[in-house]
Structure 1
Amino acid sequence: MLAAAASPLAACSADPDFYTLVPWPGAAQAGGPAVVEVRTPSVAVSLDRERIVSSEGDYRLRTAGGDAWSEALPGMLGHVLTTDLQQRLPGSVVFAQNDAVATTALAVVELTVTRASRDAGGRAVLAGSLAVHWLGHDGGASDVLALSLPVGGSATGDLVAALSRLLGQVADRAAAHLRAMGAVVPSE
């Protein structure tokens, strides 16, 4: 009798499989501001959880069973986006908000994520908004994000890989905006 009661508890205590977003390579081109800060992204409360949101649709949000993020989603998104931008902007110093750096940013990248999951058709979706601007000055650019692409399979790792690629596309847009701003802060 005791073994039967302990069995369901043992099933609940199994360690989850942990997943992480990874940097996605892009075109490296110089020309952006000398120092760029990537602010910690704002993430919808429905996504900001330990368990990975695997799909959204039909008024339901589903999580990926025993699969969890390896760290808090906002910090992970910020650090991966920072790494993506470091690769895309040679000659610029790019750092994540709250990193220990001894310099002041000239430009800022801000990301809001409202969706990061599979849609009803099984495609990976990354939605939200992106803003790039000079620190303390008017100007810059913003985009509404509604990115999607096919997922290579049904496993959680396939979804995470697709979301990593989509975050790379966000970095491509941010890098293009930063290059368009140029290297010099506008005079007042």
Structure 2
Amino acid sequence: MNRMYAVIAVIATSLACGKSLAQHAHVHGNAELQIAVQGQALTVQLASPLENLIGFEHAPRTDKQKAAAQALGERLARPDALFVPSRDARCTPHASVVNAPVLGMNGVIEGRAEKQPSAQAGKTAHRGHSHGPKKGELGGEGHAELLAQFAFKCEQPAALKGVEVRLFDAFRGLRRIDAQVAGPAGQKAVRLSSSQRMVSW
């Protein structure tokens, strides 16, 4: 199996189990990123309350909410519009793994929205036969999160010096993003806002 897709398979399993960023604090307006660089692989994990991204945290009920959920899926299918690595590194997106059970998003997407949200969104997962989360669980009534990971392959990894985060343009509900970076230069933490959106290392 191609090494990049082996990594993606591990990512999918991790997100499906609710690990990694799933433990972050649920604060409307705030989100968290984890950026990792290893060889040619650049991965970006995002954890955010759904309120920040679509304005609600339940299965879409109205036509407006269904359209918002569909637009979210379409945006997530184009990670190179949300995260822009150093141009000279020549990074291209390979796959996205998205977990938002309340919207019926649960799996790998490549180059398109994983699933068109419908009246059944939040009741049945995209893959398999597991039903949506119960009250109190991730994606159930009350708080609901989106967990996603985006994998890029960089042809010139030595030229990869940072990532411009354009989430604030796409999602007006975002006010602050706390980012953590792990790469060849070590680890660092950066707080991002609409006026400070560059993560450099």
TM-score normalized with structure 2 length? 0.28
Q: Which one has the largest radius of gyration?
A: 1
TM-score normalized with structure 1 length? 0.29
